[in-house]
Amino acid sequence: MRIFFIFFFLIIVFSCNNNNNFSENETQTFPKGNIFRYNQTGGLTSLDPAFARVRANIWACTQLYNGLVRFSGKDLSMKYELAEKYELSKDGKVYTFTLKKGVFFHDNPCFPNGKGREMKASDFVYSFNRILKDGTGAWVFRDKVLKAKPLENSEKESKSNETKSQELKNQENKNQELKNDPKSQEIKKPEIIISDTAFKAVDDYTLRIYLEKPFPAFLQMLATPYTAVIPYEAIEKYKKDFRKNPVGTGAFLMRNGLWDERNKLILHKNPNYWKKDAKNQKLPYLDAVEVSFIEDRTVEFNTFFDGKLDLIANLSEVSRDQILEKSTGKVKERFAGKFKVVKNPYMMTEFIGFYQDTTILKDLKNPLLHPKVRQALNYAINRKGLLQALRNNLGIVGDFGVLPKAFPNFDSTKVNGYAYNPPKAQELLKEAGFPNGENLPIITLNTYQSDREVAEYLQKDWEQIGVKVNIELNHPASHSEKVEQGKLQMFRFSWIADYPDAENFLGMFYSPNFTPIGSNKTHFKNEVFDKLFQETSQMPLGKGRNPNYQKLNQIIMENSPVAVLYYDEVLRLCQNRVLYLEADALNSLLLETVKVK
C-alpha cells in the first residue's frame, strides 16, 4: 500500500513540475515564432489532393499544393498559379498552358538525395490521369476531357482523329527518346503519360488538354484542389500512404510523421517556395501552421477564447449565442475589439426538396406532386423568423431563388422567390382542393439529427396553414442514401458550390443529372429548362450568361421542386494578431500571405 502512495506522490510532484513550467509560459499565451493555429472539426481524412472533397482536406491541401490556376479575392476571379499563360483553341476544345519555370517540389526522401526536383508538364499529365483513376475528384474531368479511344479503332475514324493519333505516336516516340536519354532518367514510366489522350506534355513547360466538347467553365475546374500537381516518385514510394506523406509545390510542407492524426498536424514553411510578394519578399511569412482537431464545439470555443487558437470557423449554436446578439446578429459589446468576427456570404444554399419522379412514386395522388401545394408550403415559411430564432441572424433570407447571394457578378435578387405570406399560402391550398389543409394526409419531413430545430420550426409554420407534418430524423449517411434512391418525398438538403459558376447550382435541376449518378435530387424535369440549360452551358463564361441564369432560376421558382430556406454565411473568429487573412464566398483558407503579430 505504501509503495502505491509513494508512486502517486511522485506523479503529483511530477505533474506539479509540469505546471510550474506551464505557468511561466502562461503570461504569453501566443507561441514564439510565427505560428498560425486553427482548429478543424469534422476530421481531416487525407492530405492527398485526389481526396480533397471535404472542407478539412481542402484547407490543408491549399497550403501544401499548387494547381495551374486558382480563385482569388472577393470576386473569385481566376489567377495564374503554376501556369504562366494559357491559350484556348478556336473550337474551344484545346487548352495550351505554358508553365512557370524553376518551380521545385518539396524536399522529400522519395527523390534521389532527398532534394525536390523541378516540376514539369509531365507531372501535371501524371497527376490529372491519377485523379481520373483514384480518389474522389474524377468528376472534375469525366465527360469533359477527351475520352481515351482504343488505338485499333482510331484508323477508321475521321481525319481529325487520325492526326490526333499521329500526334500521339509522335509523343510515344518522343518518350522513347527520353527514355534513352540519360539526362531524363527521372521519367521512368512513359506509359502512364500517354495512357490517356486527353492530357499531353508537349515539352517540359507546355501542357495541352483536349476536351470532348467545348466546356467554358473548364478553367474553373482547374482551380479546384483536386487538380494540384504531385510528383510520381511520391506515389511510387508511399502508394496508398501518400495520404500522410504529402509532397507538392505549395507554400508549406509536412515533415515526416508530423501528422499525429486526430491530435495535431504541423506544416512547416517551404524554404524554396517559388512565390514572392509585391515587394519581392519570399512567401510565406509564417514559420509554421498548426492544426488541432478538437471535436467538441464548446471546448473549441473556450480554447480560442483562451488565446490558444488563432482561427475557428462554423460555431455551434451555444457559442454563437455567447458572441452574437440573439435578434440582430451583431457582436456583443463585451467582445468588441477582443477578436475579429468575420461574416461573409457563402456559396451554399439550404433547401427542402420535394421528390418529383412519377416513375418511382407509386401514389400519384401524392399532394406534393401538386405544384400549388408546394407553392403554399413555400409561402408559409417565415424565413426571417427562422434565422432570428435559430441562427442569430447568421445567413441571408432565402427569398430569391436557388442561387445564393454570394455569386459574383450576378444579381440574384432579381429572381422572385417566395416571401412569407400565409394568406396567399392558404389561398393556394384552397385552390389545390385542400382548404385549411383538409383532406391532406400527414406529410413526413425527413432530415438529419443536427437539423432537428429547423425541422421543428418549419413544422410549426406549416401547422399554421393547416398542413400537418411529421419529422423523421436520419443518420446523415443513410439520409443521403435514401434521398439518392428516391425513397423520401420531402427532405432537407444543402448545396455548396464546387466552383463559382451558377451552372453548378442549376445543374441540380437538369434532368440528365438525376440521382444517384448526378446531383438532381428532386428528379425535377422540365423541357424548357433542360434546353435553356444546355444552351447556356455552351456560352462563354461571364455576364452574358446572366439573363439565362435568371430565366432558369425563375423556372425553378415557379415549379418549386424545392423550398429555399436561406443562403449560408461563413462566420469566422480570428485573433487580432492575425493580419491579411482573407475570407471569400468559397470559404477557402489561403495562408501563404498571412502574417501574425
Partner 1 sequence: MNINFFLARILQGIGVLWGVASVIFLLFLVMPANPTSVLLGDNADKETRQKLITEWGLDKPIYVQYTQYLNDLLPIAFHEKNNLENNNYRYITLISLGENAFVLKYPHFRRSYLTGKLVNEILWEALWGTLILAVSAMFLATIFGIQIGIFASQNQDNFLDKAIMGISALGIATPSFVSAMILAVFLGFWWGNVTGLQMTGSLWELDTLSGEYHLKLKNLILPALTLSVRPLAIITQLTRSSMLEVMQQDYIRTARAKGLSERKILYTHALRNALNPVITAISGWLASLMAGAFFVEYIFAWKGLGRVTLEASRDFDLPVVMGATLLMAFIFVCINVLVDVLYGVFDPRMRT
Q: Please, which of residues 492-511 interact with partner 1 by CB under 8 A?
A: 495, 498
> Do 207 and 124 touch, CB atoms closer than 8 A?
yes
Q: Please, which of residues 29-48 interact with partner 1 by CB under 8 A?
A: 31-33, 35, 43, 45-46, 48
Q: Which is nearer to partner 1, 181 or 260 (CB)?
A: 260
Q: Which is nearer to partner 1, 312 or 583 (CB)?
A: 312
Q: Which is nearer to partner 1, 222 or 467 (CB)?
A: 222
**E-strand stretches of 16-108:** 35-39, 69-72, 77-80, 83-88, 94-99
Q: How far is the CB of 32 from partner 1 (least distance, A)?
A: 7
Compute and round to an integer the Cα radius of gyration of the chain.
27
Q: Does 147 bind partner 1 (CB under 8 A)?
A: no
- Around 423, how many Cα atoms within 13 Å sit in the side-chain half-sphere? 0
Evaluate the CA torsion angle 359, 364, 370, 373 in order and state its sign.
Answer: negative
Tally of helices (H runs) and strands (E runs) in the chain = 18, 20
**Phi and psi, residue 12, nearest 5°:** -65, -45
- Residue of the chain from 439, 517, 543, 597 that contacts partner 1 (CB under 8 A): 517
Give the contact letters, 261-300, x = binds to partner 1 (CB under 8 A), - = no: xxxx-x-x------------------xx-x-xxxxx-xx-
Rounded-to-10 torsion of CA 253, 259, 263, 266:
-20
> Residue 329 CA to chain centroid, in angstroms?
26
- State the Cα–Cα distance between residues 335 and 579, nearest whole angstrom: 19
Q: Which is nearer to partner 1, 260 or 277 (CB)?
A: 260
- Residue of the chain from 154, 302, 314, 322 that contacts partner 1 (CB under 8 A): 302
Q: How many residues does the chain have?
A: 597
Stretch that binds partner 1, among 25-33, 99-107, 385-393, 574-582 (CB under 8 A): 25-33
Three-state SS annotation for 562-575? EEEEEEEEEEEEEE
- State the Cα–Cα distance between residues 254 and 246, nearest whole angstrom: 7
**Phi and psi, residue 106, nearest 5°:** -55, 145
Q: How far is the CB of 288 from partner 1 (least distance, A)?
A: 5
Q: Which is nearer to partner 1, 57 or 393 (CB)?
A: 57
Stretch that binds partner 1, among 50-58, 60-68, 322-330, 433-441 (CB under 8 A): 50-58
> Do 523 and 360 touch, CB atoms closer than 8 A?
yes
Stretch that binds partner 1, among 26-34, 173-181, 313-321, 549-557 (CB under 8 A): 26-34
- Residue of the chain from 23, 28, 113, 281 that contacts partner 1 (CB under 8 A): 23
Q: Does 13 bind partner 1 (CB under 8 A)?
A: no
Give the contact letters, 459-488, x = binds to partner 1 (CB under 8 A), - = no: ----------------x-xx-xxx-x----
Burial class (CB in 10 A: 0-12, 13-18, 19+), 165: middle
User: For binding to partner 1 (CB under 8 A), which residues are involved?
Assistant: 1, 4-5, 8, 11, 14-15, 18-20, 22-23, 26, 31-33, 35, 43, 45-46, 48, 51, 53-54, 133, 136, 138-139, 142-143, 239-241, 243-244, 255, 258, 260-264, 266, 268, 287-288, 290, 292-296, 298-299, 302-303, 306, 308, 475, 477-478, 480-482, 484, 495, 498, 516-517, 519
